[in-house]
């Protein structure tokens, strides 16, 4: 069964706005990763946050992790049409990476 669950399932915003996606998981983890998938393509790694980290930045991406609430959020600032994709969180404990069902982001120009 899936470990991570993203919320919302779908999100539609205007170009230039910020997009926030959330991920909740059930068991303890070593790290949490976010991936992006453009339509019809493979997944691409975006960012990894370890269980002892609370926040991490990479360009326009900001990821937070709250292990007490078993949740993470991905913030994309100043979104662009090219950010239109599905975004997945993946958790790692003592088992291989387990992916959530994803958030489908549409950025309207």
Partner 1 sequence: NAGVTQTPKFQVLKTGQSMTLQCAQDMNHEYMSWYRQDPGMGLRLIHYSVGAGITDQGEVPNGYNVSRSTTEDFPLRLLSAAPSQTSVYFCASSYSRNRGRSGANVLTFGAGSRLTVL
Q: Write out the residues near partner 1 by the rule CB under 8 A.
A: 1-2, 30-31, 33, 35, 40-45, 48, 88, 90, 92-102
For residue 16, the minimal CB distance to partner 1 (Å) is: 29
**Rounded distance, CA 6 to CA 21, Å?**
7
Beta carbon nearer to partner 1, 41 or 80: 41
Question: Taking the chain, what is the end-to-end CA distance rounded to the nearest angstrom?
Answer: 36
- Closer Cβ to partner 1, 100 or 107, answer by number: 100
Instruction: Report helix, strand or coil for 82.
Output: helix
Strands 10-14 and 103-108: parallel
Identify which of residues 48 and 75 has a Cβ nearer to partner 1 in the complex: 48
Task: Closer to partner 1 by CB, 77 or 93: give it.
Answer: 93
Query: What b/e readout covers 18-53, taking b as 16+ CB neighbours within 10 angstroms?
Result: ebbbebbbeeebebbbbbbeeeeeebeebbebeeee
CB 49 → partner 1: shortest distance, Å?
Answer: 12
**Distance of closest approach, residue 73 Cβ to partner 1, in angstroms:** 18
């Amino acid at each position: 069964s899936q470990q991570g669950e993203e919320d919302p399932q779908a999100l539609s915003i205007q170009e230039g706005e910020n997009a926030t996606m959330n991920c909740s998981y059930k068991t303890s983890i070593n790290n949490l990763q976010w991936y992006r998938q453009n339509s019809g393509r493979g997944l691409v790694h975006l960012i990894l946050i370890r269980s002892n980290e609370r926040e991490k930045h990479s360009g326009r991406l900001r990821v937070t992790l709250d292990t007490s609430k078993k949740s993470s959020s991905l913030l994309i600032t100043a979104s662009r049409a090219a950010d239109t994709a599905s975004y997945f969180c993946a958790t790692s404990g003592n088992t291989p990476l387990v992916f959530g069902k994803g958030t489908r982001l549409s950025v309207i120009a």
